[in-house]
């Protein structure tokens, strides 16, 4: 007899052997016992979770010589023929390879006219039903809606969203769930004992984790391990066979990140690449490692959140103490972006090295509460927050004495005698022309719009600028993301401080009332880049001037 792979050798033969699909099994068993058998079922869920297996068990339950029964005997000729795949009353069809309307007509539409040959029901099992063409679904629709009394349809799919609603509405739908990690571990352990295998606990955990909720995948991987390592399977054999990176490497990597050793990080990456590690698999492993650290930090008491052995769970809890939740989230964001980039780049190694250096060079996060506490301490010690400026920068500073009510803003200002500035509203207004000039040097159109704004207030680091009625366009132009970034960079350059900037449109104030706005008399065509050349070279003439 030819070798039978484990996924087929240990396939459940009855409802009681189905792993962790109790909600499906219970419903079907009750339906059979109460003789409330539907004419169409839809089994949906991830791969390897038992959809086709349960469909065959249901077919046996309906056609068993003792049935319909919820416990098929697997001894009668009907059960044995279904197990062997040669029953003339149970038809299995793969819609991925037979998706045309002709296939549906030939196998189903014509076949349902005739009664079962040996069993009590004709059962049609269509796997990957979402692959049927639209015309095939249309041809099937009427038959599903009003089938003969002795016909049952069972559809299986991994993508129920691709099945037409008209089909879904005519079926009883059962959602198969992923097999939990602990159930996979238990199943692999049980089968390995039956096969006489010696498996390390970590090897079993790794297989269960790589199966990702699929029992069939876990058994296929176990077959592969036996072919490589024989009867004794270690964690090292599993890592080598599947091309995985040893768990210790990830802990070494986080240690390098903590110690900010860029050289060691690049050397570690070099050794992994030389060993032939798949970079996509490496990045996935780093992402899973950081996720485990985050889970240990946030909800470390719940072991159900880990797909790991107790040894590694405790280790992750200990390692997570060196990181803050915010830092781990930032690190995960870097790796997620890298994972997205690797799928689209022709230079994966360069992107991996850059991202690794980002992780190493990343500064630790500081909470808002800590910042406020530090600012409060600075205020109590120095009488105000110090804004350091370059020694050559000349910024006017308001005098401590009261300002004359009749004087213009900035008239009583003088240059600072030290390299710091006690910034307030008057100092900001006095030096605002310097900001406008620098904006003008970078982008004349932005300067033209910003010059229509008037400083209203500076409160808690928020600078409020006001636009008058009729300057909605200017306000929208200034509020663009790139333009706002330019303004903030220039403000930071002039005042050595960053502000949040808010804008206000005062519809009651006209443009003529706006202080500091640009009027027509202030306009010079030399200020607009390229306009002077057009006028001089082409003999142009300015007819009218309007705000832009």
Could you report the per-residue pLDDT of 1-44, keeping only the tens digit for each?
578 889 999 999 999 999 989 999 999 999 999 999 999 999 99
* Domain ranges (residues) in the chain: 6-175, 181-242, 247-361, 424-534
Exposed, middle or buried by CB within 10 Å (0-12, 13-18, 19+), for 121? Answer: buried
- What's the mean pLDDT in 48-76? 92
Give the start-end residues of each E strand in 230-319.
232-233
CA distance 152 to 31: 13
| pLDDT value at residue 111 | 84
| pLDDT value at residue 476 | 87
pLDDT higher at 537 or 83: 83
Pick the CATH number of 6-175 from 2.130.10.10, 3.40.50.300, 3.90.79.10, 3.30.420.40: 3.40.50.300
pLDDT bucket at 388, cuts 50 / 70 / 90: very low
Rg (CA), the chain: 37
CATH 1.10.8.60 is held by the domain 181-242: yes
β-strand 413-414 against 397-398: which pairing, if any?
antiparallel
Asked whether residue 192 carries a pLDDT value surpassing 50, the answer given is yes
Least confident of 66-80, 235-249, 289-303, 335-349: 289-303
Asked whether residue 367 carries a pLDDT value surpassing 70, the answer given is no
Conformational region of residue 445, where left means phi above 0, alpha means psi within -120 to 50, and beta covers everything else: alpha
Exposure class string for 483-504: b at 16+ Cβ within 10 A, else e: beebbeebbeebbbeebebebe
Residue 168: closest CA among 296, 310, 21, 42 = 42
| pLDDT value at residue 301 | 62
SS3 300: coil
Residue 269: closest CA among 155, 170, 355, 177 = 355
Residue 20: closest CA among 176, 229, 246, 251 = 176
pLDDT bucket at 221, cuts 50 / 70 / 90: very high
Q: What is the mean pLDDT of the chain?
A: 81
Give residue for tokens 């991987």.
221
CA distance 471 to 189: 74
pLDDT bucket at 427, cuts 50 / 70 / 90: confident
Name the helix (H) or strand (E) containing 63. Answer: helix 51-63
| pLDDT value at residue 394 | 38
pLDDT higher at 121 or 147: 121
pLDDT bucket at 503, cuts 50 / 70 / 90: confident
Exposure class string for 102-113: b at 16+ Cβ within 10 A, else e: ebbeeebeeebe
Asked whether residue 189 carries a pLDDT value surpassing 90, the answer given is yes
Write out the two tokens for 500: 């949040």
Residues in the chain: 548
For residue 90, how far is the Cα from the chain centroid?
A: 42
Least confident of 44-48, 399-403, 522-526: 399-403
Asked whether residue 457 carries a pLDDT value surpassing 90, the answer given is no
| pLDDT value at residue 415 | 37
Residue 69: closest CA among 119, 107, 133, 137 = 119
Non-local (6+) Cβ contacts of 394 within 8 A are 415
β-strand 172-175 against 198-199: which pairing, if any?
unpaired
Asked whether residue 368 carries a pLDDT value surpassing 70, the answer given is no
Any alpha helices (H) in 343-424, and if so which ranges? 348-361, 368-382
Least confident of 7-16, 125-134, 366-375: 366-375
Asked whether residue 259 carries a pLDDT value surpassing 60, the answer given is yes
Give residue-wise pLDDT tens across range 139-168.
888 888 888 888 999 999 999 999 999 999
pTM beyond 0.75? no
CA distance 128 to 102: 17
Residue 427: closest CA among 496, 363, 358 = 496
| pLDDT value at residue 106 | 83
Domain 247-361 classification at class level: mainly alpha
Pick the CATH number of 424-534 from 1.10.8.420, 3.40.50.620, 3.90.1150.10, 3.30.300.180: 3.30.300.180
């Amino acid at each position: 007899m030819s070798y039978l792979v484990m996924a087929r050798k240990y396939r459940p033969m009855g409802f009681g052997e189905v792993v962790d699909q109790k909600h499906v099994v219970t419903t079907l068993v009750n339906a059979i016992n109460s003789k409330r058998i539907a004419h169409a079922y839809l089994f949906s869920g991830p791969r390897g979770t038992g959809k086709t297996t349960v469909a065959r068990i249901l077919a046996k339950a309906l056609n068993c010589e003792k049935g319909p029964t919820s416990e098929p005997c697997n001894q009668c000729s009907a059960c044995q023929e279904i197990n062997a795949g040669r029953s003339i009353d149970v038809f299995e069809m793969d819609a991925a390879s037979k998706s045309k309307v002709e296939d549906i007509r030939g196998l189903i539409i014509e076949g349902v006219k005739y009664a079962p040959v040996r069993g009590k029901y004709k059962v049609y099992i269509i796997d990957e039903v979402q692959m049927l063409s639209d015309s095939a679904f249309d041809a099937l629709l009427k038959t599903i809606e009003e089938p003969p009394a002795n016909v049952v349809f069972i559809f299986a799919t991994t993508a129920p969203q691709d099945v037409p609603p008209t089909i879904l509405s005519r079926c009883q739908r059962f959602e198969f769930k992923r097999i939990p990690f602990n159930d996979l571990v238990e199943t692999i352990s049980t089968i390995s004992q039956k096969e006489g295998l010696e498996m390390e606990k970590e090897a079993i955990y790794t297989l269960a984790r790589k199966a990702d909720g699929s029992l069939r995948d876990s058994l296929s991987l176990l077959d592969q391990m036996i072919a490589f390592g024989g009867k004794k399977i270690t964690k090292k054999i599993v890592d080598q066979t599947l091309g995985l990176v040893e768990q210790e490497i990830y802990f070494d990597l986080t240690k390098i990140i903590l110690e900010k050793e860029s050289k060691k990080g690049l050397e570690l990456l070099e050794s992994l690449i030389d060993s032939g590690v798949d970079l996509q698999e490496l990045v996935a492993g780093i992402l899973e490692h950081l996720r485990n650290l985050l889970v240990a930090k946030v909800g470390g008491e719940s072991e159900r959140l880990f797909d790991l052995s107790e040894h590694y769970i405790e280790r992750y809890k200990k390692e997570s103490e060196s990181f803050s939740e915010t830092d781990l989230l930032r690190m995960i964001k870097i790796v997620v972006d890298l994972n997205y980039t690797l799928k689209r780049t022709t230079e994966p190694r360069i992107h991996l090295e850059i991202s690794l250096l980002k992780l190493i060079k990343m500064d630790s996060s500081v909470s808002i509460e800590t910042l406020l506490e530090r600012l409060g301490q600075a205020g109590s010690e120095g009488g105000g927050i110090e804004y350091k400026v370059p020694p050559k920068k000349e910024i006017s500073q308001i005098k401590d004495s009261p300002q004359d009510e009749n004087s213009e803003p900035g008239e009583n200002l003088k240059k600072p005698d030290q390299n710091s500035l006690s910034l307030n509203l008057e100092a900001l207004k006095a030096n605002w022309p310097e900001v406008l000039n620098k904006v003008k040097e970078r982008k004349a159109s932005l300067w033209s719009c910003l010059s229509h704004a008037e400083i209203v207030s500076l409160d808690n680091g928020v600078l409020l600028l006001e636009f008058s009625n009729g300057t909605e366009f200017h306000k929208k132009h200034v509020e663009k993301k790139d333009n706002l970034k330019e303004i903030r960079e220039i403000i930071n350059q002039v005042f050595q401080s960053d502000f949040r900037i808010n804008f206000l449109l005062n519809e009651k104030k006209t443009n003529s009332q706006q202080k500091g706005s640009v009027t027509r008399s202030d306009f010079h065509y030399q200020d607009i880049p390229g306009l002077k050349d057009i006028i001089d070279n082409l003999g142009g003439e300015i007819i009218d001037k309007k705000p832009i």
